[in-house]
Structures are given as C-alpha cells and as structure tokens.
Amino acid sequence: MERQIDRYVDRFEHLYTIGRGRLDGTRERVKDRLIAFYEELRDEQRDHWRDRQRIEQERRDVRRELAATGDDALADLL
C-alpha cells in the first residue's frame, strides 16, 4: 500500500510540476485517490494496534490463569 501511495504522490507532484490535469480533473482524481489510500493505511494501522492490544490482553489472561492453576496444583499436592 505504501508503494501505491508513493506512486500517486509522484504522479500528483508531476501533474503540478508540468501544470497539467487541472482542467480535465486528473489532479483532483489523483488527490482523491491519495486521500483514500491514506485513510485505508490509517485504518490498517489502527486495526493492527487493536489486534496487538487484544493479543496482549489474552496473553495476560493466560498468564494469570496459569499462575492460578499452578497455585491450585501445588495445593492439591500438599
């Protein structure tokens, strides 16, 4: 996705540099596509962060359960 963003940024800059695409709407379409890519990238990053948070919470829960099970198993042995 980042490669696509780079490609559209280059294209957008090129259109501005050569002064084309304003009248036929090409610049606006490229700009809109760039905005969509950035939004999609932010969504993916947010989902990734949420997934990491969920996994870390599950990890803490498992560790807590293991610690409780370990304590119970020791008490059963005694």
Tally of CB atoms within 10 A around 41:
14
pLDDT of residue 48: 97
pTM of the predicted protein model? 0.62
pLDDT per residue, tens digit, the chain (78 aa), is 778 888 878 887 887 787 777 778 888 888 888 899 899 999 999 999 999 999 999 999 988 888 888 766 655 655
User: What is the DSSP secondary-structure string of 1-67?
Assistant: -HHHHHHHHHHHHHHHHHT-SSSSSHHHHHHHHHHHHHHHHHHHHHHHHHHHHHHHHHHHHHHHHHH
Dihedral angle computed from the Cα positions of residues 29, 34, 37 and 43, in that order, rounded to the nearest 10 degrees: -120
